[in-house]
Amino acid sequence: MPANFWPEDDSSNELAPLNSLLSDLSATEESIVETDPLFLPFRFQGRRRKAALVLTIVWSITIALHLVSWGSLFVLGLTTILGIHALEVVFTRPRRHPKKIEGDLPSVSIMVAAKNEEAVIGRLVKSLCSLDYPDGKYELWVIDDNSSDRTPQLLTELAKEYKQLKTFRRSAQATGGKSGALNQVLPLTKGEIIAVFDADAQVSPDLLYQVVPLFQREQVGAVQVRKAIANAKENFWTKGQMAEMAVDTYFQQQRTALGGIGELRGNGQFVRRAALESCGGWNEETITDDLDLTLRLHLDNWDIDCVFSPAVEEEGVTNAIALWHQRNRWAEGGYQRYLDYWDLLLKNRLGTRKTWDLLSFMLIMYILPTAAIPDLLMAIALHRPPIFGPITGLSVSLSVIGMLTGLKRIHQGQKFHLSTYLVLLLQTLRGTLYMFHWFVVMSSTTARMSFRPKRLKWVKTVHTGVE
């Protein structure tokens, strides 16, 4: 059963002995030669055992570092190493991308998986069917995932108006969620480049002319455009998401400039068809298809570029409960890729540069929040500061620098006044406060995955059509 559809019971027996996990290490060379390591059957099994093992290791190391005399020196050394990499990331120059395409324009197929999106589907189709790109060179596929509202009727009417629009309705028995919908329609598409958007997406007319030239570099397997929050002014949560998208795009752009890991973000992703097919399409055994595809593309020796402009607008969630559900899904999906492909990462299949970049990112974004609880408990018990304080300080400092620079890049080319800098500073301070929710999400998600991974439910983001 695809991971997008979690059952309430635990019939998969994922609490089997740890031996089955350790036995993965003893796979013979013959089995690896016969089957592509990316698609081995055991890869998406036993996530609970793997999560429990990671949690045990992280907590044990954290406690041990508090008890040994050289624990603080070890953390300071690790902070220094991570700090050197952080300086490289901050001071590297973003990669310059070609602005024009040489030769014939490649064909593009735009895909949108939609379910109960009557509030936004009309605006979406109008936006994506009004792109400035030659007739016959791009098509729009909207996949109706068995909607129960007026989405099917609206699509039928829109198909009569826009010749680029093609629709496909899935049956009630279809599985796989968004990944299943995209995989089902992919063979019907004709584009050399596949673009994927969410139903609430809004883009500028010159989108394709700005993104397509990036694929002239043969190693580029995908491109992610910046996500902008359409309703950013609504409240604290949406303003925080706006700053979050800015810092996220900033670090993706800087990391790729260093030859590190660029990541896909679902909405606004462009993938070369050859790269997508070599990776086997979208994974229906994960809850975050974009993060999973990110790692599989890199493992298959493709690069992913990330750009600030153009951007794709989307609706941000407007309350803490919706944010909690969404971020828990993102956090679990992020963990899943490490648990699923850990053996290939240990074999350095990414290459030294990308492996080191991924390890640094994982330590700061995943391991540090996981260690926060035992670190705080030991600090209270021993009447001393948290031992990972230096790395936490480095992480927060990086976030502040990246957020301020990212927000500034959004307005690149505009004239800056003193008031502009004050607004950017205020947005950065507010965004930094908002970002602390990740510590709670990450630490709780790791613990929950070790005991109840299949109880996470995918709460659909409600789109209202806000301008």
The confidence band for 445, taking pLDDT boundaries of 50, 70 and 90, is confident
- Given a cut of 50, whether residue 5 has pLDDT beyond it is no
Local structure of residue 16 (DSSP, 8 states): S
Q: With contact defined as beta carbons under 8 Å apart, do 151 and 145 qualify?
A: no
Residue 282's nearest CA partner among 201, 200, 178 is: 178
Q: With contact defined as beta carbons under 8 Å apart, do 259 and 88 qualify?
A: no
Res 34: pLDDT: 44
Q: Cis omega before residue 310 (within 30°)?
A: yes
Report the relative pairing of strands 165-169 and 108-114 from DSSP bridges. unpaired
- Given a cut of 80, whether residue 413 has pLDDT beyond it is no
Res 1: pLDDT: 39
* Mean pLDDT, rounded, of the chain: 87
The confidence band for 98, taking pLDDT boundaries of 50, 70 and 90, is confident
Domain ranges for the chain, please list them.
42-467
Specify the CATH number of the domain 42-467: 3.90.550.10
Res 411: pLDDT: 83
Report the relative pairing of strands 269-272 and 220-229 from DSSP bridges. antiparallel
The confidence band for 45, taking pLDDT boundaries of 50, 70 and 90, is confident
Query: What's the average model confidence in pLDDT over 50-65?
Result: 94
The confidence band for 467, taking pLDDT boundaries of 50, 70 and 90, is low
Res 60: pLDDT: 96
Q: With contact defined as beta carbons under 8 Å apart, do 187 and 110 qualify?
A: no
Percent of the chain with pLDDT strictly greater than 90: 69
Rounded to two decimals, what is the model's pTM? Answer: 0.86
Q: How far is CA 361 from the centre of its chain?
A: 13
pLDDT tens for 373-398 read 999 999 999 999 999 999 999 999 99
What is the Cα–Cα distance from 3 to 176, expressed in whole angstroms?
8
Backbone dihedral region of 318: left (phi > 0), alpha (psi from -120 to 50 degrees) or beta? Answer: alpha
Distances from the Cα of 64 to the Cαs of 78, 387, 407, 416, 453, in angstroms?
A: 16, 11, 40, 50, 27
Strand order in the sheet with 138-144: 165-169, 138-144, 108-114, 193-197, 269-272, 220-229, 303-314
What backbone torsions phi and psi does residue 227 show, to the nearest 5 degrees? -95, 125
Res 68: pLDDT: 96
Q: With contact defined as beta carbons under 8 Å apart, do 268 and 427 qualify?
A: no
What is the Cα–Cα distance from 265 to 212, expressed in whole angstroms?
18
What is the Cα–Cα distance from 350 to 353, expressed in whole angstroms?
8
Query: What's the average model confidence in pLDDT over 274-291?
Result: 91
Report the range of poorest mean pLDDT among 61-75, 162-176, 192-206, 238-252. 162-176
What is the Cα–Cα distance from 183 to 375, expressed in whole angstroms?
43
Res 91: pLDDT: 94
Taken as a whole, the chain contains a residue count of: 467
- Given a cut of 90, whether residue 262 has pLDDT beyond it is yes
